[in-house]
Amino acid sequence: MSGPVLNKLIRVDMSTETARVEEFPEAWRLLGGRALSARILLEECDAQCDPLEAENIFVLAPGLLAGSSAPTSGRLSVGGKSPLTGGIKEANVGGEAGQDLMKLGYRVVIVTGKPSDPERRYGLDISADSVSLVPADEHKGKWNYPLIEALTQVYSKKASFISIGPAGEMQLAGASVACSDHSQNRHPARHAGRGGLGAVMGSKGLKYVAIEPGSAASRKPADKQFFQLSKKYTREFVAGPGQEPFPKWGTSVICEEANSIYTFPYKNRVEGRSPDVETLDGMRIVESFETRGGGMHNCLTGCIVKCSNIVHDANGEYKTSGLEFETLTMLGSNCAIANWEDVADLDRLCDDIGLDTIETGAAVAVYMDAGGMEFGDAEGTKQLLREIAEGTEIGRAIGNGAAAVGRAKQHHRVPTVKGQAIPAWDPRPLKAAGVTYCTSAMGADHTAGLIVDPGQAPEEFAQASQESQILNAAVDASGFCQFLMPNIEEIGEFYSSFLGEEVTREAIADMGWQCMEDEWEFNRRAGFGPEDDKMAPCMAEDAIGGETLFVWDVPDEIVAAAYERFEPRDELFTARPS
């Protein structure tokens, strides 16, 4: 295809240790990010394969608008068959990698095969002129921060990195994929966390990807009005109402709000409110900026949201970045750990070892609930995370996620859907979000379609979930960040101007729906059925709330209704991500 959408893709075969550049298929022309990853996995991956064997496919797909001047549009979708759920998975991440790949014209990286020697490690070097696998055995076992520090001594100051820590190398089902952020030190602080895709990358023997953008410029749109559209959106977003506390101070500052509606789970979700919300709330992080330094920053070039916090310790030294609501909830409140500073330590450990903070927090809480250690033991939890990197028996169980810990401890309270831990947003007061957890091919994943509305009527649950899932699939396909809060109509305007052809809002909605259907079809081929669309039993048994008690009591027929497409309402096109 000619025009602004460049037409290259990279195929890497780890069995033959080769990498080559190919033309991008015309049939995938309008696909990016999650929609592209879903199509590739459906067309090229055996859905019944072992997720950690050669037949699985590891996908790195920037959104369609990544690398352009569209604001906050450079996010990357990481895809594969999940070792955690056994179904399809896409995990979305910020950082510089998505921007750099698209500036170089690479629409997607597809990694297949598996090295004959499982002890070997490789790096993938990507530049404008070449793509090649390089030996990386000297980096075997390195944590993400020391790894990136070593790589910055070898690659240019412009290079961006995708990497795994020891959890990915050990192929643990809670392992994440790290991306370097937009900072001078390129911290590996942005993570495609959910679904264990770090284990898939590890099974391929791929320790890191290094992207050298060189002097590559932003991608040129077909219509110069694209620049005006980008400026207009930026102006309106920055001047818009409701910037405080979120997104100005990031997601960490919504702990109090979540606590007020009983979705700040405590002690493995036996309660919906934490007595420690004041010392966990992200406003304590904001207050620390004045004396310790740190502050808010943009995790990728061109971001106007700037919701990522940089957290310093008491000595004013960098500790971690992107300490968000989900982490404060799952590694803090859910484990009865009372102070945000301990959670910051745990966040740094997870980023360094390469772990999903949601899955890890849920796993630790199940372990505590089963009597493995006391709730609230912050130092014990830090040691437990170190044991994951050491590969101890309990460390491996924690690293494999909440369901694995439940099996190991024979515990009854394991809050998962399709094997993936329920995130902070609780399905008991937020029942439409619970419908998303049950029907999304990803399992319990709030980024698949979150609805924060405790007052919805039961007849609204299925359509609200479906519309939110369509919107979020479209956003993840575009490369926009959900926190930019674009609606489907606006995404269509950006596509039309960038591509130089009309892309209607209906076409964008259809693309989101098709992405979901591709994911559902993959799962069907993998053996999933209606029996898998079940909320964890403990959510129906353990009531939370105050005067009104909440349990999961949504009938199966309402859940199933989310699979049948509703007649589009105007809200589908004009709603914004929660």
Reply yes or no on domain 245-414 having CATH 3.40.50.300. Answer: no
Burial of 371 (0-12, 13-18, 19+ CB in 10 A): exposed
Banded model confidence at residue 241, pLDDT cuts 50, 70, 90: confident
> 159 φ, ψ to 5°?
-65, 145
- Residue 344 three-state SS: helix
pLDDT digits (tens, 9 = 90+) for 302-346: 999 999 999 999 999 999 999 999 999 999 999 999 999 999 999
pLDDT digits (tens, 9 = 90+) for 94-139: 999 999 999 999 999 999 999 999 999 999 999 999 999 999 999 9
H/E run at residue 7 = none
Mean pLDDT score of the chain:
96
- Identify any residues that bridge with 79 across adjacent strands, giving them in sequence order: 59, 90
CB atoms within 10 A of CB 116: 12
Q: Measuring CA to CA, which residue among 55, 113, 60, 115 is closest to residue 91? A: 60
Query: CA 206, 403, 425: angle at the middle one, nearest 5?
Result: 95
On the question of pLDDT at 416 being above 70, the answer is yes
pLDDT at 6: 56
Give CA–CA dist 44/41, Å, rounded. Answer: 5
Q: What is the mean pLDDT of residues 265-287?
A: 98
| The CATH number, out of the four listed (2.60.40.1760, 3.60.9.10, 3.60.150.10, 3.40.50.720), of the domain defined by the range 8-211 | 3.60.9.10
Give CA–CA dist 188/209, Å, rounded. Answer: 12
**How far from 14 is each of 7, 20, 97, 136, 386, CA to CA, in Å?**
23, 12, 21, 13, 30
Residues 6 or more apart whose CB falls under 8 angstroms from that of 157 comprise: none
pLDDT at 240: 83
Q: What is the mean pLDDT of residues 289-299?
A: 96
pLDDT digits (tens, 9 = 90+) for 147-177: 999 999 999 999 999 999 999 999 999 999 9
The reported pTM is: 0.97
pLDDT digits (tens, 9 = 90+) for 21-61: 999 999 999 999 999 999 999 999 999 999 999 999 999 99
SS (H, E, C) 146-186: HHHHHHCCCCCCCCEEEECCHHHHCCCCCECEEECCCCCCC
> 193 φ, ψ to 5°?
-90, -40
Banded model confidence at residue 3, pLDDT cuts 50, 70, 90: very low
| The CATH number, out of the four listed (3.30.1330.20, 1.20.1600.10, 1.10.10.10, 1.10.599.10), of the domain defined by the range 427-578 | 1.10.599.10
On the question of pLDDT at 380 being above 70, the answer is yes
- In our burial notation (b when 16+ CB lie closer than 10 A, e otherwise), range 275-299 reads ebbebbbbebbbebbeebebbbbbb
End-to-end CA distance of the chain: 35
> 287 φ, ψ to 5°?
-65, -30
pLDDT at 242: 76
Q: Assess contact for 59 and 45: CB atoms under 8 A.
A: no
- Rounded to the nearest 10 degrees, what angle do helices 431-439 and 461-478 cross at? 60
pLDDT at 144: 98
Token pair for 163: 């990497």
Domain residue ranges in the chain: 8-211, 245-414, 427-578
pLDDT digits (tens, 9 = 90+) for 501-558: 999 999 999 999 999 999 999 999 999 999 999 999 999 999 999 999 999 999 999 9
> 246 φ, ψ to 5°?
-105, 135
Give CA–CA dist 95/76, Å, rounded. Answer: 8
Q: What is the mean pLDDT of residues 466-484?
A: 98
Residues 6 or more apart whose CB falls under 8 angstroms from that of 570 comprise: none
Q: Assess contact for 34 and 61: CB atoms under 8 A.
A: yes
- Rounded to the nearest 10 degrees, what angle do helices 378-390 and 340-353 cross at? 0
Q: What is the mean pLDDT of residues 440-452?
A: 97
Residues 6 or more apart whose CB falls under 8 angstroms from that of 57 comprise: 40, 41, 44, 45, 79, 80, 81, 110, 111, 112
On the question of pLDDT at 277 being above 70, the answer is yes
**How far from 227 is each of 103, 217, 218, 576, CA to CA, in Å?**
16, 14, 11, 22
> 132 φ, ψ to 5°?
-155, 150
Q: How much of the chain exceeds pLDDT 90, in percent?
A: 97
- Residue 62 three-state SS: strand
- In our burial notation (b when 16+ CB lie closer than 10 A, e otherwise), range 432-449 reads bbbbbbbbbbbbbbbbbb
On the question of pLDDT at 4 being above 60, the answer is no
H/E run at residue 420 = strand 420-421
